[in-house]
Amino acid sequence: MQALDDLRVLDLTHHIAGPYATRLLADLGADVIKIEKPGGDIARQLPPFKGGAPHPERSGLFFHLNCNKRSVVLDLREPAGKAALEALAKTAHVVVENFAPGTLDRLGVGLDFFRRINPALPVVSISNFGQTGPYRDYRLSELTLYGFAGEMYSMGLTEREPVKMAGTAALFESGAAASVAIMGALWAAKRFGIGQHVDVSLAETHFGGVDRRHATAIAYQFSGRKTIRAAGGGAGMPQGIYPCADGYVEFTNAALRPDRIDDMLGHPEWNQDPRFSDPVQRLDPAVIEEWNVYFLTWCLERTKREIWAEARRAKVLCGPLFSMEDLFEDDHFRDRGFWARADHPELGEVEFPGRPFIMGKGGWQLRRVAPLLGQHTEEVLREAGVDDATIGQVLAAGGAR
């Protein structure tokens, strides 16, 4: 038994944030019916592809976003597609969609459509800037999301342009936030019979997020202070990113525990200077520079793994900068069984991150790999009691892919 295996999610999302939100529910057992347009989710067109060449069934991104889901291709412009959607909505506990606001209404399958079918059915809409307001129809991408609503302004070098996170990290964060909203809507429905619309603005999930933007705004309200853009390199004792024998290590000395640094370095005499342990003097750039002379030498004589081992022993905040190769080969994650493996008809044997977290009961399982386009159209529609004629029309429309 999985925690959410009594739930069916009608998933009208595509690209990254929406599918990630529903993937998290699918991982815990929800039956996520992924509705794709003829031609498929745009994530099928996004790299990385196995072998490098674009192919709708070989995207590693699509794969990781859509494991544990079933794919149904519906052309929602056609009556048969709408009829099939109606049948599916009757069996669903929640609808999740991330079309541009107004798109589903124009197709006649918006909020009113679902309300007519089942007034108690929660509908969660994920969009760039929300369902209302002057930017309602504005476009958004990873770059502009993090730039506008996340903490990008303070990221990078003062004299250069602000710089974003890796990959599409901001969209994944928004997806995680949206999964909480979906569960909130499901709980309201389960406990109080409340069917409602939930408006998730990707921008607002970042304005209100934990990674500094929110606190930075409050600090401004409190003090008028703003946060300057500044690199984290080598700010001292130790703080920031330092080179070492085979790469880089990142340190934070936020705990104000010079004794632990002494222990890590094994040269307590380096820290004897009283200025090094005074909470105020230790912020002086000249003092930091003196201290860094010792520290850099120590780092450059050691590998990132050696440094981290010493830091772990001494309980110092530290992390080596791993490449993907380092990560995949690392024993810790192998020992813990973090990596999942599965066979996929187009990708072959795939290794990928497994459970997002470990539940003692009812947690993550890999029930099926990411679906081929329309792989489950017939199966799912038959389960929902859709008649043969409609199924035939749906398949014919989807067959044009």
Site for another protein in 229-288 (CB under 8 A): 229-234, 240-243, 248-250, 252, 254-256, 279-280, 283
Smallest distance, Å, CB 395 to another protein?
30
**The one among 76, 88, 94, 152 contacting another protein by CB under 8 A:** 152
Three-class SS of residue 302? Answer: coil
**The one among 165, 244, 265, 391 contacting another protein by CB under 8 A:** 165
| CA end-to-end span of the chain | 36
For residues 212 and 202, give the distance between their C-alpha atoms in angstroms, rounded to a whole number. Answer: 16
Give yes or no for residue 289 binding another protein (CB under 8 A).
Answer: no
**The one among 308, 373, 377, 386 contacting another protein by CB under 8 A:** 308
CA distances for 375 relative to 40, 78, 230, 303, 341, angstroms: 11, 20, 49, 48, 21
Smallest distance, Å, CB 340 to another protein?
10
Report residue 373 as tokens: 């386009």
Give yes or no for residue 218 binding another protein (CB under 8 A).
Answer: yes
240: closest CA among 288, 275, 287? 288
What is the enclosing helix (H) or strand (E) of 380?
Answer: helix 377-383
Contacts (CB under 8 A) with another protein, residues 332-361:
332-333, 335-336, 338, 347, 350-353, 355-361
Binding to another protein by CB under 8 A, coded x per residue (else -) over 100-139, reads: -----------------------------xx-xxxx-xxx
CA distances for 77 relative to 9, 84, 108, 126, 284, angstroms: 21, 12, 9, 21, 66
**The one among 91, 103, 196, 277 contacting another protein by CB under 8 A:** 196
294 or 322: CB nearest another protein: 322
**The one among 79, 108, 119, 167 contacting another protein by CB under 8 A:** 167
166 or 286: CB nearest another protein: 166
Smallest distance, Å, CB 71 to another protein?
19
Give yes or no for residue 307 binding another protein (CB under 8 A).
Answer: no
Q: Beta strand 339-344 with 348-353: parallel, antiparallel or unpaired?
A: antiparallel
The stretch near another protein (CB under 8 A) out of 81-89, 227-235, 288-296, 390-398 is: 227-235
DSSP 59: B
DSSP 283: G
Report residue 386 as tokens: 């859709």
Report residue 120 as tokens: 């108690």
325 or 388: CB nearest another protein: 325
Three-class SS of residue 122? Answer: coil
Report residue 241 as tokens: 């990113």
DSSP 200: E
In total, the chain counts a number of residues equal to 401
32: closest CA among 3, 7, 65, 60? 7
64 or 368: CB nearest another protein: 64
Contacts (CB under 8 A) with another protein, residues 59-88:
60-61, 63-65
256 or 396: CB nearest another protein: 256
**The one among 274, 286, 323, 388 contacting another protein by CB under 8 A:** 323
210 or 286: CB nearest another protein: 210
DSSP 316: -
